Structure 1
Amino acid sequence: MNISVIIPVYNAEKYVAQAVESALQFEEVYEVILIEDKSPDNALIICEELTQKYDRVKLFQHPDKGNHGASTSRNLGIEKSTGDFIAFLDADDYYLPNRFDAEKELFKDPKVEGVYGAMGVHFYSEKAKEQYYKVFRSSLTTVYKKYHPKDVFPGQLYLLGSFGMFSIVALTIRKDSLINKMHPFFRPNLKLHEDSEFLFRLSYYLDLYPGSIDKPVAQRGVHEENRITKVGINKKKPVLSRYIFWKHVNEWASKEKNMPENIKIHIKRMERSFEIAHTPNPKKWAMILKYLILDYPSIRSGLYNINFRNTII
């Protein structure tokens, strides 16, 4: 195996060296690609030092050397990668020694297009743990049991919280399968949950197999400056971000010719459910009335998701 590990770097001068070195511990890692995204701290200097220290580390910036976000940075990393397999790592996360154990066996089978595993949590400070323990706790981010690849996409869609979820940091993809079957890769206009939206579509197009789902293969680094943690404790923004997420998914699904109509309807109802939750009163009741007339199951599905599955994404 020769794996390209792609790391977008923004505001991570304290952590990026650890992330890079956690990837370099594996002989299967052919290259570590750093995409420096006009970080406001000294991350660029650290990245340059890492390229001088390690031959396998490559550094890129966007053509205009500007800030374009994680999605565009990961897309650039995919474009620059030369390995047969692609793995992702955030600059404040890190791999564990068992990161590619399952992959080395599973990818011997050519029909395996991707392998996902479990991700743990590491709090960088007591303050971070105190602030964000309720968001992440100490549990694994994982799919709860082994599913056939054809069940991964509908499992995420219909089973929701009981299915579990996997992180992009615990995912390895066969590059040819990604290039040939899925476009676009990450959506640049989606600033939150862009990785979840990517994984959702990926599981529709590619056959993804479970690797280590009961033990973590990577650690999510939680600190005071995490972008997602700041949103995670805000009760208003998560509803809006989930609505935007499902809006993008619905736009994609509506254009997918081979997708069964019942799945398209369910996705549309998911979008409507969070649209209703996000809409302020009294407009909310006008919207509920509209969907009561046009599509009553949207209300039934919407209220169910809003009240009982408010943290699925």
Structure 2
Amino acid sequence: MLNISVIIPVYNAAQFLEKSVQSALHFDEVKEILLIEDKSTDNSLEICEKLASGNSRIKLFQHHDKGNHGAGASRNLGIEKATGNFIAFLDADDYYLPNRFEADKEIFRDPAIDGVFGAIGVEYLTEKGRQEFQAKFKDIPLTTVNYPAEGEEVFRGLLSLTPKIFGTFFHLNALTIKKSAIEKYNLRFNENLRVHQDSDFNIKLSYFCHLKSGIIDKAVAIRGVHDNNRITKIIQYSPEYNERQFILWQSLYHWAVTNNLPSEYRKRIYLSFKSFDLSQQKGLRKYFNIVWEVIKNYEILRTRYRYNYYKS
């Protein structure tokens, strides 16, 4: 049987937290639930303390200074404190479905598999949240990939290097990973990224580790969409969106160079990074640099980020 540590970063999630925790307690495979409280301004800490005192499988941690450090740092603290052989993640306003670890139990029988990922669904908790989510993501019922894949195909798919469109994202809520694989490659969340730490982590994880898709045609967890979801507040291709994407791809490019990834991968990551770099420039300098970049790397016009070039 799997022995899983579920890591839940907690920040201002008082109204959702108990449901989230209860959904993880449902599974015998879950050895422990690590609540990483990140200096909430509501009564989340009080609820965490109540939950931890009432069940030995629930453990409460805060940062060394009891300050607010963000979701990435909170997940990193959870990884350090986890004692299970496997790690799973859950956002405090989301919850697992009964089939969450159904595929994992079978797939992990193969010792070559380091991690399994699946699909998540959506539940609209407020009308404003629904409107913002659908304005950005349309009425997409699942966050998932388009076809089963494993190994290097997953990494190539996330970089849009596969012949078929793989999809650009799988959610942490549907990822289970061996702790030994995380430790082997010293993988952690980039704490400088206040958003998109998950995308950064998933891409790096899929390069070093042998991941395999599990249940991708139906949800294994549910994302709760409400008024305070940060990711839906950012309008696509807005200056804020471009800036945050730039920081993400800058992080990935630095990682690709530092780890001397094969040239095909470094180039694709560079093109994505450069696209968002150019999107933040203005005036004649911007258009001069666009022309110069196209002369050097005409393939940049084929990336899914080419739209950014022409936004002022």
CA distance in 2, matches of 1:81, 1:236: 38
Asked if 1:173 is matched to 2:186, the reply is: no
Tell which deviates more after alignment, 65-74 or 121-130: 121-130
- Tell me how many residue pairs correspond in the alignment: 306
Q: Note the aligned Cα RMSD (angstroms).
A: 2.0
Whether the 8 Å CA contact 2:278–2:309 is kept in 1: the answer is no
- Look up the match of 1:162: 165
- Look up the match of 1:16: 17
1:178 partner amino acid: I
Asked if 1:263 is matched to 2:245, the reply is: no
Asked if 1:225 is matched to 2:228, the reply is: yes
Unmatched 5+ stretches in structure 1: none
Tell which deviates more after alignment, 112-121 or 283-292: 283-292
Asked if 1:254 is matched to 2:246, the reply is: no
CA distance in 2, matches of 1:262, 1:159: 9
CA distance in 2, matches of 1:219, 1:24: 16
- Look up the match of 2:151: 149
Question: Normalized against structure 2, the TM-score is what?
Answer: 0.93
Asked if 1:63 is matched to 2:26, the reply is: no
Question: What secondary structure sits across from 2:100 in the alignment?
Answer: coil
Displacement of 1:126: 2.4
Tell which deviates more after alignment, 189-198 or 123-132: 123-132
Match of 1:208 among 208, 211, 217: 211
1:45-64 maps to which residues of 2 (within 5 A)? 45-64=46-65
1:1-313 maps to which residues of 2 (within 5 A)? 1-136=2-137, 137-159=139-161, 162-164=165-167, 165-181=169-185, 183-232=186-235, 235-257=238-260, 259-292=261-294, 295-297=296-298, 299-301=300-302, 305-307=305-307
Displacement of 1:159: 4.3
Question: What secondary structure sits across from 1:220 in the alignment?
Answer: strand
CA distance in 2, matches of 1:202, 1:232: 27
1:193 partner amino acid: H
Whether the 8 Å CA contact 2:132–2:232 is kept in 1: the answer is no
Question: What secondary structure sits across from 2:159 in the alignment?
Answer: helix
Displacement of 1:43: 0.4
Displacement of 1:281: 2.3
CA distance in 1, matches of 2:135, 2:8: 27
Q: How many percent of aligned residue pairs carry the same amino acid?
A: 46
CA distance in 2, matches of 1:287, 1:19: 48
Whether the 8 Å CA contact 1:8–1:36 is kept in 2: the answer is yes
Displacement of 1:158: 2.3
Unmatched 5+ stretches in structure 2: none
Distance 1:88 1:275, change over 3 A: same
Question: What secondary structure sits across from 2:160 in the alignment?
Answer: helix
Whether the 8 Å CA contact 1:273–1:298 is kept in 2: the answer is no
CA distance in 2, matches of 1:309, 1:149: 32
Question: What secondary structure sits across from 1:86 in the alignment?
Answer: strand
1:220 partner amino acid: R
2:160 partner amino acid: Y
Whether the 8 Å CA contact 2:129–2:229 is kept in 1: the answer is no
Question: What secondary structure sits across from 1:119 in the alignment?
Answer: strand
CA distance in 1, matches of 2:68, 2:62: 9
CA distance in 2, matches of 1:231, 1:131: 9
Whether the 8 Å CA contact 2:279–2:308 is kept in 1: the answer is no
Displacement of 1:233: 6.0
CA distance in 1, matches of 2:283, 2:265: 30
Q: Deviations over 1:33-56 (max 9, x none)?
A: 000000111100010011122221
